[in-house]
Structure 1
């Protein structure tokens, strides 16, 4: 099968289109014929080696985390799915590889594709929607009447997180450039700060939850807009020792993460707020709940561009440029 791979970590090199064997479906797996694959900044970060300390992949590696397609084979222990089912998923860590014609995925990580979405729209959803769900529902436990600040509202995570937070009853603030204001108002944002011309710290205060996706400076300012007892959940780091324990990292990795996160953890304690790092995980049951929200019209995908599969490198470069509004997808079939 055709697949886009990396043979070594590189900041400048692109992905290589190569012939790879079709993966074998284990007893608990479904083999999915890929119709569309979503791209994420995580793909770029893995390509550069930024996550090799906590995600030590064996190379060559087929990249890609998000998929929508049709099941062509099922393992003998698969109970929920059958050949011909239309599905979508975020492939689990160490089993990624959606930039290919086929991928084998454990059935526990798979959900039925929303009936009201195309394959391309469905492929844009899993990683960002699961990130939003695990941050806002699972960890922050957002409830009606709370105030939630979601950074970079026009990005892939931001567009879904705004909609989910509004569904949970929160008042939502976000940051964006002025050209994205109409989009974000349509998604439900209550307060939008033009990050190019305004400082969100001067406009926002007493927030219950922050979903951080930006740099260190933005992270520290976000701590200051939280009320005592508030929660800051970061998907851009720094990772914490708690995260290292969750993933079973070595003592050496725990030590490094303890050092790199010491400053922000100290600032959080000083302000009596909770800081945690979230590295989302594949989870088919949660994705099934998200499917219901999509079919009800509560959450809609925001897709910026769809590239043909052979232009996956161009699609990844577009992600890296930071210009995307919503998600970027490659189409195989």
Structure 2
């Protein structure tokens, strides 16, 4: 286990990303792992919409460390951990209920950690955990898509981090499912490259475009942008179909009742927060790692903002806040 000082980047006030004081650096001792934990030397992180939302609105309770994607090297293992050893390369999302990965050394529950894909760099690996966990749980656990499933799946927000990896996972594991992705014209080619069979423009008449492709409606709908869309979704999902949302969504889904359409939520942090004995997310990450190493899934890194620092984190948060980011923004290495 390393000795010395830990570099920790967090926030103590809810400031805009443009403010030079939005983040601050503190130092502390390198943590020791509790039973069931790992200490990971963080080599790369990525920034997700949840980071932006928490920084802008959640109380720091003095000082809060964000970061829910990481790839790094195991530095120490706690009592009862037999699956990992110091020196192992890993990747993970962790839990929103704990200090995040924007620090050189992070403690994380071993049950939440997967083995980093051998074919991926640390930066590439850091682009995957939160989004692949979200996508896997949304499609395979919530919607119930299986290897033998057939039908149409509409992916609303297909160029984003989750949509980009979701398309690849479904192509790899459910090849009979037709994927229809939504994207603006500038991002349509990216969405096709991620695996969409068809692309529709979400800025135009979505219902008309989807019905032209699937006259009877789609069987499944994944959405990252569901607010005020309940009537549109009721029109384009077939009877007894299912919708899964990862945003805060509408508060009234009664328009779905006439067709008995199921509305489901997906929050990746449900497992780490509420299922303390679950190893499901480790299993998912190991499946994703194998798919990357076999060439069936590729990392969704589109921009590398350089070493992890106050300034690079501010830049990354500002870019994610625009809502126009394609794929994932990654920070790799440390300044100094």
Deviation at 1:24, TM superposition (A): 3.1
Is residue 83 of structure 1 aligned with residue 86 of structure 2? yes
Contact 1:234 1:277 in 2 (8 A): yes
Is residue 199 of structure 1 aligned with residue 198 of structure 2? no
Separation (CA, whole Å) in 1 of partners of 2:328 and 2:44: 12
Separation (CA, whole Å) in 2 of partners of 1:6 and 1:135: 31
1:28 corresponds, among 25, 36, 51, to 36
1:153-208 Cα offsets, whole Å, 9 max, x none, are 11100100111122212101111121222222222211111233x22211114111
1:2 corresponds, among 2, 7, 19, to 7
Contact 1:57 1:94 in 2 (8 A): no
Is residue 235 of structure 1 aligned with residue 233 of structure 2? no
1:217-241 Cα offsets, whole Å, 9 max, x none, are 2344223210011111000023xxx
1:179 corresponds, among 181, 186, 190, to 186
Residue 318 of structure 2 corresponds to which residue in structure 1?
317
Partner-residue secondary structure (3-state), 1:216: coil
Separation (CA, whole Å) in 1 of partners of 2:266 and 2:231: 17
Residue 141 of structure 2 corresponds to which residue in structure 1?
138
Separation (CA, whole Å) in 2 of partners of 1:286 and 1:227: 29
Is residue 122 of structure 1 aligned with residue 110 of structure 2? no
Structure 1 residues 114 and 25, CA, compared in 2 at 3 Å: closer, same or farther? same
Separation (CA, whole Å) in 1 of partners of 2:16 and 2:230: 25
2:225 corresponds, among 206, 209, 214, to 214
Contact 2:226 2:245 in 1 (8 A): no
Structure 1 residues 220 and 7, CA, compared in 2 at 3 Å: closer, same or farther? farther
Contact 1:65 1:96 in 2 (8 A): no
Structure 1 residues 147 and 34, CA, compared in 2 at 3 Å: closer, same or farther? same
TM normalised by structure 2 equals: 0.85
1:263-320 Cα offsets, whole Å, 9 max, x none, are 12x2222331000221113521111111111111111112111112121111111111
Contact 1:66 1:91 in 2 (8 A): yes
1:41 corresponds, among 33, 49, 54, to 49
Structure 1 residues 181 and 8, CA, compared in 2 at 3 Å: closer, same or farther? same
Contact 1:32 1:104 in 2 (8 A): yes
Separation (CA, whole Å) in 1 of partners of 2:132 and 2:8: 25
Partner-residue secondary structure (3-state), 1:138: helix
Partner-residue secondary structure (3-state), 2:263: strand
Contact 2:142 2:264 in 1 (8 A): no
Is residue 148 of structure 1 aligned with residue 167 of structure 2? no
Comparing 61-70 with 281-290, greater Cα deviation is found at 281-290
Separation (CA, whole Å) in 1 of partners of 2:62 and 2:265: 27
CA RMSD of aligned residues (A): 1.8
Structure 1 unaligned blocks of 5 or more: 239-259
Contact 1:101 1:332 in 2 (8 A): no
Deviation at 1:331, TM superposition (A): 1.1
Separation (CA, whole Å) in 1 of partners of 2:32 and 2:88: 18
TM normalised by structure 1 equals: 0.86
Deviation at 1:11, TM superposition (A): 4.9
Structure 2 unaligned blocks of 5 or more: 1-5, 212-216, 273-280
Contact 1:223 1:232 in 2 (8 A): no
Separation (CA, whole Å) in 2 of partners of 1:92 and 1:100: 15
Q: How many residues align?
A: 304
